[in-house]
Amino acid sequence: MFSEKKILIGIAGGIAAYKAAELVRQFKKNSAKVRVMMTQAALNFITPLTLGTLSENPVLLDLFSQEENQSTVHIDWARWPDVIILCPATLNVVGKIASGIADDAVTTTILASTAPVIFCPAMNKEMYANKIYQANQEKLISNGYHFVAPGKGELACGEEGWGRLAELEDILSEAKRVLFGDQALKGKKVLITAGPTREPIDPVRFISNRSSGKMGFALAEAAVMRGADVTLVSGPGCLKPFPGIRFISVQTATEMANQVAGCLPEADVLVMAAAVSDYRPKVSSARKIKKDDVGFAIEIERNDDILLKASENKGSRIHVGFSVETENEIENSLCKLRKKDLDLIVVNNPLEDGSGFEWDTNKVCLIDKAERVERYPLLSKSELADRILDKMIGLLKTEQ
Ligand code: CTP
């Protein structure tokens, strides 16, 4: 993921410093080149030997060491990285950088660098909530620095609250966004649906389908990477949304329809990647239905078609639909494109190898409003998400 990218990790003196070792390992595993610099306080929590061994590079501790034998070491280190990650970022170091104080290797290098900087705060909940800290963080954000918000939970001091270092996975995702993202969708509100819906028969049974949500989640991640303001409405699944996405979890098609209706007036783009259940049981039993020897019948009724409904007040909004077909793919998908007034439809046949619900890949064709059919080879869902977004950006430009 980070092939050949140069990552400089700064470590400040907080208990979460031990997690920086694993962060270094994760970046190395993803083919990044890693260097580490530490404050004097960080040495109380973790050793340079550990970090030097994991990063396979010398660790910067001191700007004036005899060994370095040069007075501009901070400039060399400041020019080297593609991104700097301060992990953990303590109240003290955040305050110093926000005030322009450069009195050690870490603060001096960060202030001398033009590379993007990601702060990963970790501290006691009251320190994090402190107005002076919050003002410093705001000042840094308004000056273009990035922050990965801490999580809530048990803190090292035994208290509970906001201040735990973010998950390392989220820090890696933010680095990915900062390094590889662009701003092609900046200012655009993109509403995406994903996953299956579940239509309850009774408290333990439901009607659903095999959708994993992978395509919708990949689209949401790709849209965030391009600077969009993304809302993801998803049916049940076990995927974790990419950081920065507004995530709304639903169960039934009706819940999904309601959430989409609520977000739609604001949206510039609607992407219906969800496999919405077309039917639901007419009655959902409040108690578990017991078996008998006769069997039982479920009376089912139609769910509303969310895309069709959304087309009633479409205006200049771009609508992208998906079409799952196991025969007559193009013909049937063209009918959906016309009927639901779509700008783009993504067609796939789950019976094809490597295609469809649970795979990480998909083989699709795209049909646009002018009914041009473009066939794509087998692609990973994240590559495909990028191709779909390229099309969407083109459509948004023609609408402007
Ligand atoms: N869709 C929707 N609401 C529904 C059913 C489908 O918004 N109740 C959307 C899907 O999210 C997808 C598109 O409509 O973007 C096409 O869905 P698909 O299941 O392929 O087709 P259907 O229109 O449901 O028709 P059929 O099941 O007969 O193929």
**Residue 66 confidence (pLDDT):** 60
Position 110 confidence tier, pLDDT thresholds 50, 70, 90: very high
Q: Report whether residue 211 contacts ligand 1, using a CB cutoff of 6 Å.
A: no
Cβ–ligand 1 distance for 345 under 6 Å, the answer no
- For residue 50, the model assigns a pLDDT of 97
Paired tokens of 316:
């200049």
Class of the domain covering 6-180? alpha beta
Mean pLDDT, the chain, as a whole number?
A: 93
Residue 278 CA, ligand 1 centroid: distance in Å: 7
DSSP 239: P
- Statement: residue 162 has pLDDT above 60: yes
Paired tokens of 378: 């087998």
Which residues have a catalytic role annotated?
A: 157
Stated pTM of the model:
0.86
Asked if residue 53 has pLDDT above 70, the reply is yes
341 lines ligand 1 (CB under 6 A): no
Instruction: Tell me, in angstroms, the distance from the centre of ligand 1 to residue 304's CA.
Output: 10
Buried/exposed code over 100-119 (b: 16+ C-beta within 10 A; e: otherwise): eebebbbbbbbeebebbbbb
Calculate mean pLDDT across residues 179-189: 93
What pLDDT, on the 0 to 100 scale, is given for residue 67?
63
What DSSP string runs through 340-384? Answer: TT-SEEEEE-TTSTT-SSS-SEE-EEEEETT--EEE--SEEHHHH
Give CA separation, 271 vs 159, 211, 331, 397, in Å.
42, 16, 21, 17
Ligand 1 pocket, residue 336 CB under 6 Å: yes
Distance CA 162, CA 158 (A): 12
Residue percentage of the chain with pLDDT more than 90? 83
CA 383–ligand 1 middle distance (angstroms): 23
Q: Which atom of ligand 1 is nearest to the CA of 307?
A: 7
For residue 309, the ligand 1 atom closest to its alpha carbon is 7
Q: Quick check: 400 pLDDT over 80?
A: no
Report the CATH number of the 189-399 domain.
Answer: 3.40.50.10300
Q: Which atom number of ligand 1 is nearest to the Cα of residue 333?
A: 20
Closest CA to 321 of 359, 274, 370, 362: 274
Q: Compute the distance between CA of residue 18 and CA of residue 151 in angstroms, rounded to an integer.
A: 17
Which of 205-209, 247-251, 357-361 is predicted least confidently? 357-361
Of 43-47, 188-192, 377-381, the range with the lowest mean pLDDT is: 377-381
Residue 140: what residue type? L
The secondary structure of 40-69 as a DSSP string is TGGGGTS-HHHHHHHHTSPEE--TT-TTT-
280 lines ligand 1 (CB under 6 A): no
d(CA 4, CA 28): 10
For residue 309, the CA-to-ligand 1 centroid distance in Å is 12
Question: Which protein residue's CA is at the shortest distance from atom 16 of ligand 1?
Answer: 323
Q: Choose among 42, 37, 140: nearest CA to 97.
A: 140
Beta carbon of 274 within 6 Å of any ligand 1 atom:
yes
371's CB contacts (< 8 A; 6+ apart) are 334, 337
- Nearest atom in ligand 1 to the alpha carbon of residue 324 is 20
Q: Is 322 in the pocket of ligand 1 (CB under 6 A)?
A: yes
pLDDT tens digits for range 188-240: 999 999 999 999 999 999 999 999 999 999 999 999 999 999 999 999 999 99
Question: Which of 210, 302, 323, 347, when mutated, tests ligand 1's pocket best, judged by the most ligand atoms within 8 Å of its CB?
Answer: 323
Q: Is 342 in the pocket of ligand 1 (CB under 6 A)?
A: no
Distance 271 CA to ligand 1 centre (A): 12
- Residue 255, phi then psi, degrees to nearest 5: -60, -40
3-state class (DSSP) for residue 30: coil
Residue 228 CB–ligand 1 contact under 6 Å = no
Residue 65 makes CB contacts below 8 A (sequence gap 6+) with none
Indicate which atom in ligand 1 lies nearest the CA of residue 253. Answer: 8
Q: pLDDT tens digits for 286-341?
A: 999 988 888 888 999 999 999 999 999 999 999 999 999 999 999 999 999 999 99
Q: Mind listing the pLDDT tens digit for each residue in 73-83?
A: 878 899 999 99
> Would you give the DSSP letter of residue 312?
G
Residue of 276, 324, 326, 357 to test ligand 1 pocket, by largest number of atoms within 8 Å of CB: 276
Write out pLDDT tens, residues 252-293. 999 999 999 999 999 999 999 999 999 999 999 999 998 888
Checking if the pLDDT of 242 tops 70, the result is: yes
Same fold, 6-180 and 189-399: yes
Residue 249 is predicted with a pLDDT of 98
Q: Which of 250, 263, 306 to mutate to test the pocket of ligand 1 (most atoms within 8 A of CB)?
A: 306
Q: Can you tell me which atom of ligand 1 is nearest the CA of 310?
A: 7
Q: Is 339 helix (H, G, I), strand (E, B) or coil?
A: helix
* 294 vs 120 pLDDT, higher one: 120
Which protein residue's CA is at the shortest distance from atom 3 of ligand 1? 305
Confidence of residue 69 (pLDDT cuts 50, 70, 90): low
Domain ranges, ordered by start, for the chain: 6-180, 189-399
Q: Which tokens is 339 given?
A: 């009927």
